[in-house]
Chain A
């Protein structure tokens, strides 16, 4: 594509008209199809043997149609597959219901289908379950210690998987280093918490023995593959449709136990069954994320040049190897944007009696960014250097890219130093530094913190994924079909969950076909009628999707030119299409409306010899490499050393996601990512009581999502270095906003309170945690 008139334009979103009117169709809106409603009984203990279930009283309630038990599920299904297994770990996940042992509070134990949800919940209350509570463990390091309660008979020591790797000669670098710093960091357990929970509607077509599953998911085709495998069905006999999805953020991908449970109930009752997660369930049934403990060390020369890194960390994956698998970008992106050539990693993934962990915006990247950037500031303080100067000394320069980091990630392009400089300038870094002493003399503790990141977006080819044991490819696909009137329908397996894909795909498509985005009708999220698709996650949709659209529109355009050449009596290679008109490049008076060409294609009355009727194309695009976004966050806080309270006064983010298809949407993605990054940095934490093993704050009353009043106005600066390796030069952008947030704020608080020697090492950062850090510093 040479001319891309709609790329880089903030067109209005196609999604908005229906969503603003309340006319979107979310899962729970499918009343016309749903006949029965399902409620799911969940284990109230962190670990328990189910000695017996008595559902007789429930089945006597009028309106109750079916009860499904764990032993039935285990007899009739396979455990879920794991799409991206951690190197060395099993590809097997877990069964959709617990039997005979439940391993976390919230694990499904029984399900009821009834005439309505109220009756189904009544029935649950009448089901007697005899539990024998078993010893539990809800702390990853304790789970790995000798004598800990064991979750799975087949897994010794609760270690799902552990591995080490080494690049270069880190031991020699540490021995030779002028200085080293180390820290032990705790990353909080959080969750994506979209405002729409999950939901499933399953319908069994007995005459054809096929299954139709409507589900609030980011990845209809992946859900279909996993669901078919668990149900021992052929993929072609399963249709998965995602309607409008009320937020995803990574947690609504892959198959979930309820998809399987609802399918079985649909088969058993012969009627469409619907389940919609309530918020209390959501916290106990939807994957958690991020929790880990890192012991990180950095070695540096006397001038601050980084020499080596060591990271020994434990990820708390919860009770099972969940359907995507544990985060792998943690160590892949730990080196960040710095010149590091020696390092070693020791990874352990621990099983605990908690809700399984799954993907969540950034999956591994916010975690490792926090530990690295906070420790870098400690190094700067130890060396008596300015944190910005230390980073400047170690940031990769544009002429060093492409650069392969010690974990194998190949950074493609960018100007990391420029990003840092723009951020420092925007926040007035030098000004804060100049006035800090004066402010402190007045009793004001103002600090500024910075955090630099590189963001891994998309996947580096399907072949790479295959070599690393993944159960999916890196590609995306599209079918584009012109209609007789000269408009186009675009079919994509990616669903619509807030990311604006309908609009941005239409922009790329319109650019390729010489149409306007309004001329493109986007059909999405239905495995029936869309080409085989991977789905929307890992900031990959536009990287892979734009390539597929570009290829499909090229094929259509070529045929349009052949048909137009025939109709006009002009050479095909002298034609162009724009504004719905095909014309001669060198003589605009020779032209024909695109609609006339499409009419000719479908009537097929006057086709050139050898030309088939119709005008459509299906294309797949497999990105050969990943693209790497990057950015710098600069945050300014004022802290109160008496209470630990701090005020986040300013938040600057400079980022580069390459070519922006729709700058308005890009900015929205960044805003949302920052809000989630700050939520996890300042407010959110899923807390388990070690004694009872219970999740103690699993509701919106107790788990604090940031409100409008909790967040500052974000100040963004956009840089644009087109990726040399993706179509259009795009890089992914969905996850970037989350990555740098926690470290920037932590560094700002430490900077503000540096006269007291405060060091922060755990998230979230609250007045209490800062106050405790102040107390620790005073005692030292």
Chain B
């Protein structure tokens, strides 16, 4: 249908080289070409954030990007947080605070929180809630997500600052 493009991309530390259709969405490439099903699709309009990934360390909504756009870039998806090892601290914080129910929006929130920590932000309450508006959750009412991210940021950023 449309022209194909050869792209090279690093996802979760692993290099891939693939031919993709020009119109292939990044999220479809990740999910259905690379088999990384942890990145989810909720709206295909860049509103709900279920498809959030890290693109060179910054949050990006993979449902409104084309796979061809990430040629030469580095991505992190939820599968890259813990690999097959122990849970990442942000995952532990969500588990301990009951910050997830159905788990569908969760990967997007986790990556958003990791990006917040990378900015060195220690946020809480309303300031943190304002930062979380790029991700929608329909199960939790956000309260436990806010608590999980507060804990994680305090532990990670706070700990790093003290160290």
Contacts and interface: CB of A to CB of B under 8 A. Distances in A.
A772 interface: no
Contacts of B107: 22
Contacts of B50: 195-196
Nearest to A246: B104
Contacts of B101: 247, 498-500, 668, 672
Contacts of B45: 279, 699-701
Given A26-B40, A196-B40, A674-B141, A20 B129 contact: no
Interface string A487-500: 00000000001111
State which size class the interface on B falls in.
35 or more
A709 interface: yes
B126 to A, nearest CB: 7
B104 to A, nearest CB: 3
Candidate in B24, B41, B43 with the most chain A CB atoms within 10 angstroms:
B43
Interface stretch (A10-18, A411-419, A563-571): A10-18
Interface string A680-709: 000000000000000000011100010111
Interface string B120-148: 00000110111011011111111111100
Interface string B26-65: 0000011001111111111101101000000000000000
Given A12-B95, A13-B95, A195 B142 contact: no
Contacts of A699: 43, 45, 47
A12 B94 CA distance: 11
Candidate in A20, A668, A737 with the most chain B CB atoms within 10 angstroms:
A20
B125 to A, nearest CB: 8
Interface in B89-117: 91, 94-96, 98, 100-107, 110
Contacts of A701: 45, 47
Interface in A658-676: 664-665, 667-668, 671-676
Nearest to A29: B37
Contacts of B95: 12-13, 16-17, 20
A44 interface: no
Nearest to B145: A708
Contacts of B40: 26, 195-196, 246
Interface of B is mostly: loop
B67 to A, nearest CB: 12
Candidate in A195, A672, A674 with the most chain B CB atoms within 10 angstroms:
A195
Interface string A589-633: 000000000000000000000000000000000000000000000
Contact of B133 (A22, A28, A708): A708
Interface in A489-534: 497-500
B91 A21 contact: yes
Contact of A28 (B41, B43, B110, B130): B41
Contact of A118 (B21, B81, B128, B129): B21
B47 A22 contact: no
A24 to B, nearest CB: 5
B103 A24 contact: yes
Contacts of A197: 42
Contact of A705 (B41, B138, B145): B138
A279 B103 contact: no
A497 B94 CA distance: 17
B103 A671 contact: no
Interface string A706-738: 011101011000000000000000000000010
Contacts of A668: 98, 101, 139-140, 144
Contacts of A21: 38, 78-79, 81-82, 87, 91
A19 interface: yes
Contact of A19 (B106, B130, B145): B106
Candidate in B23, B45, B143 with the most chain A CB atoms within 10 angstroms:
B143
A374 B157 CA distance: 47
A119 interface: yes
A708 B102 contact: no
A20 B87 contact: yes
Nearest to A30: B37
State which size class the interface on A falls in.
35 or more
A23 interface: yes
Contacts of B100: 16, 19-20
Given A279-B45, A700-B48, A22 B37 contact: yes
Given A31-B35, A196-B40, A246-B102, A22 B132 contact: no
Candidate in A23, A25, A699, A701 with the most chain B CB atoms within 10 angstroms:
A23
Contacts of A674: 141
Contacts of A19: 100, 102-103, 106
A700 B138 contact: no
B87 A700 contact: no
A197 B42 CA distance: 7
B37 A16 contact: no
B101 to A, nearest CB: 4
A118 B23 CA distance: 9
B3 interface: no
A235 interface: no
B20 to A, nearest CB: 11
B37 A279 contact: no
B160 interface: no
A195 B136 contact: yes
Given A705-B138, A708-B133, A26 B104 contact: yes
Contacts of B132: 707-709
A249 interface: yes
A297 interface: no
Contact of A671 (B44, B81, B135, B144): B144
Interface string B72-91: 00000111011000010001
B150 to A, nearest CB: 12
Given A20-B106, A705-B136, A711-B142, A278 B44 contact: yes
Contacts of B110: 20
20 contacts: A16-B94, A20-B78, A20-B91, A20-B100, A20-B103, A21-B82, A24-B104, A31-B35, A118-B21, A195-B137, A196-B104, A244-B103, A246-B102, A246-B105, A247-B139, A279-B42, A280-B44, A671-B143, A672-B141, A707-B133
The 10 residue pairs across chains A and B that have the minimum distance between CB atoms: A22-B38, A19-B103, A246-B104, A498-B102, A675-B141, A498-B101, A22-B78, A671-B141, A700-B47, A29-B37
Given A28-B41, A247-B138, A711-B143, 17 more contacts: A16-B95, A16-B100, A19-B103, A20-B91, A21-B78, A22-B78, A23-B38, A29-B37, A122-B1, A248-B102, A279-B42, A497-B102, A672-B101, A707-B133, A709-B126, A713-B146, A714-B141
Interface of A: 12-13, 15-26, 28-29, 31, 118-119, 122, 192-197, 244-249, 276, 278-280, 497-500, 664-665, 667-668, 671-676, 699-701, 705, 707-709, 711, 713-714, 737
